[in-house]
Structure 1
Amino acid sequence: MQDLLGLGQGVRPASSTPPPLAQKQSVKKKIQSGSEENQAGSTEPGSTAKASTSGKKTDAIDDLLGGLGSDLEKIGVRTTAKGHCASCGKSIVGKLITALGEVWHPEHFTCTVCKAEFGTRGFFEREGKPYCEKDYHQLFSPRCAYCQGPIMKNILTALEQSWHPEHFFCAHCGGPFGTEGFLEKDGKPYCNKDFYLLFVPKCSGCAEPVRENYLTAANGTWHPECFVCSDCLKPFTDGCFMELEGRPLCSLHFHSRQGMLCGGCGEPITGRCISALDRKFHPEHFVCAFCLQQLRQGVFKEQRGKPYCPACHTKLFV
């Protein structure tokens, strides 16, 4: 009050006669009356009563400043309003804040959401409205695809989503991605090891993941080097194989398992055969064990597991 009155020193008063004291007393009475109203309002419970009390106090201050400005005008001190507050619309006589192209009472320049005064703190602007840092990020910052929290600083973009850098890791093992990068499955990132372990077909020979070249045969997927005969483990040089119970076999071992190897030459029998002595023979290989003549019409004599024609059997054993 004294500072503001001091502004009038050296300024010629508009009237030589000072204003009557009754005028100032009326201002005091008005202030006192406003205080009594505030005290009466403060007896109401809850946040509504507090807001009402705060609003009445603010109105009382504005009335005081208005009355003071009127008194100063009467003694010849010119008071000029610095603008109208963008929040309450009333004239600003004392301190003010200039922001967003407008002027504000300091107590009225607050966060749009939480209503906290900014004071000397910084603020964020969105569509002409001020926000504190917390509310701005909560409302407008991109969300992390892993934790769904707002991303306030560094951001990583992958799989058409945004991530905190520390939250972008393998969806299976939780490990960070190295220089080899990551692979994607159903919108989730995986390290190379887990991706091949979980989703890539396994070789039917060695059971390891098939990453590059492979072939499909015998109802399975194979590394080329693993596709061999299940019995002799030799590759199929002619590209032909036979399957038995889901396993690939060369012709020799397929017929061996089937009992279809010639008892004479040991080679597979693919056509006509003769069954004798608990074995099978090519017809041309079913011969007398002594004279080596083909045994025709199925007539032979057996001695110690070998076939003989009747003549040789009689000559040798009778």
Structure 2
Amino acid sequence: MERFDCHHCEESLFGKKYILREESPYCVGCFEALYASTCEECSKPIGCDCKDLSYKDRHWHEACFHCSRCGSSLVDKPFAAKEDQLLCTDCYSHEYSSRCQECKKTIMPGTRKMEYKGSSWHETCFTCHRCQQPIGTKSFIPKDEQNFCVPCYEKQHALHCVHCKKPITAGGVTYREQPWHKECFVCTACKKPLSGQRFTSRDEFAYCLDCFCDLYAKKCAGCTNPISGLGGTKYISFEERQWHSDCFNCKKCSLSLVGRGFLTERDDILCPDCGKDI
């Protein structure tokens, strides 16, 4: 007759209860000694006749699987883990859950919530102050400790660009006490953005320095480049002609004539020494 023995102790298993593991039979005693999990709560083996409840590689007897605070059973119930302790949802909420900024009720574990600047809301409580619709994952804009969806903020609070008439929701430029989008505040002539750049104006229109000089600045009689007069630039004026200070020199010897006497010969200016023979 073929033998049917325990794979470990080799005692006969005929007429006895046994457990198969990897197609090998074990008597109950050997199986529990070799393979039974140890209960996290009572530290005793979880026998074959007991239900083995597991969570993250930890094991409990069914009777030992309870809340660490109140002792209520967690079998077939939702629970939360905190610092290796298992807690029922009531105890976890009381100890650790945040409270909704709007309704002041506990935000239960596993429910979706919104967080902003250290405060928490139920997803359905995080709403636009104006239209009362949930904001969810959409963009929003805070104002005076209240949150607004973008369309409501634009209707109620946003300044409107004096150029395009559309709302300004971020950044912006103020010129002559009027609001502009940065992308709308451009040079009147070349249309390059002026935000963050030096610019000047004429007849209330803004110009970049290059365009202003090309259009309106007087030209130096010496180098023919524009004299902007901006930033304290010094220049010399004589008989409807202008020179940069650095260009106001004797035509013959190049001596600077700033603060000196000079003579003119047609369109040229000369120092007294070079002009004494004319």
Give the TM bin, normalised by the shorter chain: 0.3 to 0.5
Looking at CA atoms only, which structure, 1 or 2, has the larger radius of gyration? 1
What is the TM-score with the length of structure 2 in the denominator? 0.35
Which structure has the highest strand share of the two? 2
Which structure has the highest helix share of the two? 1
What is the TM-score with the length of structure 1 in the denominator? 0.32
